Structure 1
Amino acid sequence: MTAAVYDPDPSFCRWFVEPAVYAFGRRRVMTTLLDHLRSGTDAEQAGAKRAWYCAHVPLRADRSPAYAPDGSRDPALDESRDVMEEWREALQRSAMRESDT
């Protein structure tokens, strides 16, 4: 995920994010990006914002061995509603800090 965060090209960082989503699950990827947003440098926060978009790639069973032979996958790997809410809150706090300066 660090490579995705540091990649300045918003479309190229997908090459790092998409395999991570398939291998580790959307939840884990988004949680890592949230950590970068909350505690990273300005450059890391900007990179996390770019990579966040890529973390929403549609998942297809035929593109990953992370799926069982029947095409199923543990839904907990990709459950991310709570992480998305935390992301929105962190963005709001960040915007409020920027407006205070």
Structure 2
Amino acid sequence: MEAEERDEADAPTFLSSAAEVARLLHIDIAVGVPESQRARHLAHAVRKPLLERARLPEEFFSPLMTAAVYDPDPSFCRWFVEPAVYAFGRRRVMTALLNYARTGTDAEQAGAKRAWYCAHVPLRADRSPAYAPGGSRDSALDESQDVVAEWLEYAASLDRNEA
């Protein structure tokens, strides 16, 4: 769906996205926390449980990507991108971010650009059981050179259009 066809008022928010990830993890929605702080509170609450899992069910992918894209803080969107990279692979995460950048609303495009940096997180056994010794991980999940090339081509086309 093209950005101009989408109504940004109908788009998810960081709070709704973080709440969906928390719901999938069976973490309370932080009722006693002021609404202005609730999204960050939920993001903090889900970070460790997400990284402790070597695998996540498919239903986590979209909410993780949405939360990463809608997180207004470029330092913290990693809390959603990193577990997605470990669970679903760098290639799939980068492809989703490229799709947001190409077809998303203005807010989604900006969020995809912020999250793109985090998708390059180093993959380490001490960060996730997905890479623990003796674990089996399909290296194709993390092959992303072609997606990076597409991103660079997309970014270059933006620069040409602005000139």
**What TM-score results when the alignment is normalised by the length of structure 1?**
0.88
Per the alignment, residue 91 of structure 1 pairs with: 155
Match of 1:53 in 2: 117
Q: Which residue in the other structure is 2:26 paired with? A: none
Q: Mean Cα displacement is larger for which, 72-81 or 17-26?
A: 72-81
How much has 1:92 moved relative to structure 2? 1.3
Instruction: Report the AA paired with residue 141 of structure 2.
Output: L
Q: Please tell me whether the aligned partners of residues 61 and 71 of structure 1 are also in contact (alpha carbons under 8 angstroms).
A: no
Question: Which secondary structure state, in structure 1, belongs to the residue aligned with residue 137 of structure 2?
Answer: coil
Q: Tell me the number of residue pairs that the alignment of Structure 1 and Structure 2 aligns.
A: 99
RMSD between aligned residues: 1.5
CA distance in 1, matches of 2:104, 2:158: 12
5+ residue gaps, structure 2, are 1-64
Distance 1:22 1:76 in 2: 13
Q: CA deviation at 1:36?
A: 0.5
Residue 72 of structure 1, CA deviation: 4.7
Q: Secondary structure at the match of 1:61?
A: coil
Task: Please tell me the residue identity of whatever aligns with 2:99.
Answer: D
Is the 2:125–2:133 Cα contact (8 Å) retained in structure 1? Answer: no
Q: Return the offset for 1:97.
A: 2.7
Which residue matches 1:40? Answer: 104
Q: What is the CA deviation profile of residues 6-33 of structure 1, one whole-angstrom value per residue up to 9, with x for unaligned ones? A: 1110001010000000000000000000
Verify the 8 A CA contact 1:17 1:54 in the aligned structure 2: yes
Q: Which has the higher contact order (CA 8 A, sep 6+)?
A: 1
2:131 is matched with: 67
* AA of the residue aligned to 1:65: P
Bigger Rg, structure 1 or 2:
2
Unaligned runs of 5+ in 1: none
Question: In the alignment, which of 45, 61, 81 is matched to residue 145 of structure 2?
Answer: 81
Q: Name the structure 1 match of 2:76.
A: 12
Q: Is the 8 A contact 1:67 1:73 kept in 2?
A: yes
